[in-house]
Homo-oligomer: A and B are copies of this chain.
Amino acid sequence: MIAKRSFPLSRVHRLLESGPVVLVTTARKGKANVMTMSWHTMIDFEPPLVGCVVSDRNHTFGILKATRECAINIPTVELAAQAVGCGNTSGRRVDKFRAFGLTPVAASRIGAPLVGECYANLECKVVDARMAARYNLFILEVVKAWIDPSRKRPRTLHHLGSGEFMVAGGTIRLPSRKK
């Protein structure tokens, strides 16, 4: 694994608004967990706010409510099998870092570990859990971001349903006034 560099918080939206599959890491009582997530959206640019939906049937839901911290880790296609594996298993029964050969890396601002193999890692605090009861929706603030500077065109995964994924293709640029 390449050493990560700090990534500006003002640019975090560029990592998430294309809709990649992400791995959400949490920790409680010395046990770390990983879940796979596709249901997330940017909510604001800076500080970067992210809305994410974590089913209350998932082990992560309770940890997130209790610890109010997680990391969003962005995998590329090379980690597709691990991403699906983390989605098919529960942290109640499986140590997923061990089961899927993922490397926990200490974060700087939160207790949950980062996934070393992912090309980008976002350390997050839960800033609003009021929509968790009704919609399983948590509002996260990204408090620190890291990126592997060697990955210029990360081939992210985008879930199409039932284990089918679109892999990021080429890029085009058009004159836009938007961030």
Q: Are B84 and A166 in contact (CB under 8 A)?
A: no
What number of copies of this chain does the assembly contain? 2
**CA A51 – CA B53 in complex, angstroms?**
10
Q: Are B174 and A165 in contact (CB under 8 A)?
A: yes
Which residues on the B side are within 8 Å of A100 (C-beta)? Answer: none
Q: Are B39 and A158 in contact (CB under 8 A)?
A: no
Which residues on the B side are within 8 Å of A178 (C-beta)? Answer: 36, 87-88, 162-163
A151 within 8 A of B: no
**CA A87 – CA B178 in complex, angstroms?**
7
**CA A38 – CA B158 in complex, angstroms?**
14
- Looking across the interface, which residue of chain B has its beta carbon closest to that of A139? B135
Which residues on the B side are within 8 Å of A13 (C-beta)? Answer: 161
**CA A175 – CA B87 in complex, angstroms?**
10
Chain B interface: which of A24-32, A41-49, A104-112?
A41-49
**Contact string against B for A residues 142-179, beta-carbon threshold 8 Å, 1 for contact and 0 otherwise:** 00000000000001101111111111111111111111
- Looking across the interface, which residue of chain B has its beta carbon closest to that of A44? B135
A125 within 8 A of B: no
Return A54 CB to nearest CB of chain B, in Å: 11
**Could you pull out 21 A-B pairs where Cβ atoms are within 8 angstroms?**
A14-B160, A17-B38, A17-B159, A18-B38, A18-B160, A39-B42, A39-B43, A41-B41, A43-B136, A43-B137, A51-B53, A51-B135, A80-B172, A161-B179, A163-B176, A164-B172, A165-B173, A166-B171, A167-B170, A169-B169, A169-B170
